[in-house]
Amino acid sequence: MNSFLFMVRRDLRLALRQSSDNVMVVMFFVLCAVLFPFGVGPELGILERISAGVIWVGALLASMLSLERLFQTDYEDGSLELMALTPAPLEILVLAKVAAHWLTTGLPLILASPLLAVLLNMDSDGYGVLLLALLLGTPTLSLIGAVGAALILGARRGGVLISLLVLPLYVPVLIFGVSAVDAAIGGFEYKAQLFILGGLLMGTLPLAPWGAAAALRQSLE
């Protein structure tokens, strides 16, 4: 636990020193939502129907922007090798880095989503479900992304490779996240979708750090 907390604090301090990267992620998320009304037109009925999908797709793409540097900086300066040599399991350190990544990218996206929901004329019945679905789904995106970031470590054009690796795995989170919000807006039951999002999070929580740690060990050999 001490190693976990130390790694989280370390990555948060580094993220604060490079705050422009985190601001860029949020700005990309906002711009994605702002540009959609220009593309589909200002008709409020259309915007309301697509609001959940636009916000979720924007959050998915924005979360991918910072995945490539999740391990890359530590790999380049040799910190990753020192982490692998510490007594703490590498899986715990990976989980700490994922937690810091979510706190600096996923959480700001969640905080910005209500404003974008208002901009896209989302029905007020969907606000709470949108926040809850993002709260369950964005950590899963970070966990899955950590595996992709570990697999492409040291590769050329890693940004393209990580997109090809993780985008297919993001699709279930996207489907059930949008479905939960649409069900809430339509007055239907949405608990099943939230349970599935929670199940995806519970499944990736132990498996993703293990897979990412294995990929990191392979890259360091």
What DSSP string runs through 63-131? HHHTTTHHHHHHHHHTHHHHHHHSSS-HHHHHHHHHHHHIIIIIHHHHHHHHHHHHHTT--GGGHHHHH
Domains of the chain, residue spans: 2-220
Q: What is the pTM of this model?
A: 0.88
pLDDT in tens, the chain (221 residues): 677 787 788 878 877 777 667 788 888 888 888 888 888 777 778 888 888 899 999 999 888 887 877 777 777 777 777 777 777 788 888 888 899 889 888 898 999 998 888 888 888 888 899 999 999 999 999 999 888 888 887 666 666 778 888 888 999 999 999 999 999 988 889 999 999 999 999 999 989 989 888 888 887 77
* Mean of all residue pLDDT scores within the chain: 85
Q: Which of 48, 26, 175, 187 is nearest to 105 (CA)?
A: 26
Q: Which of 156, 158, 63, 145 is nearest to 108 (CA)?
A: 63
DSSP 42: S
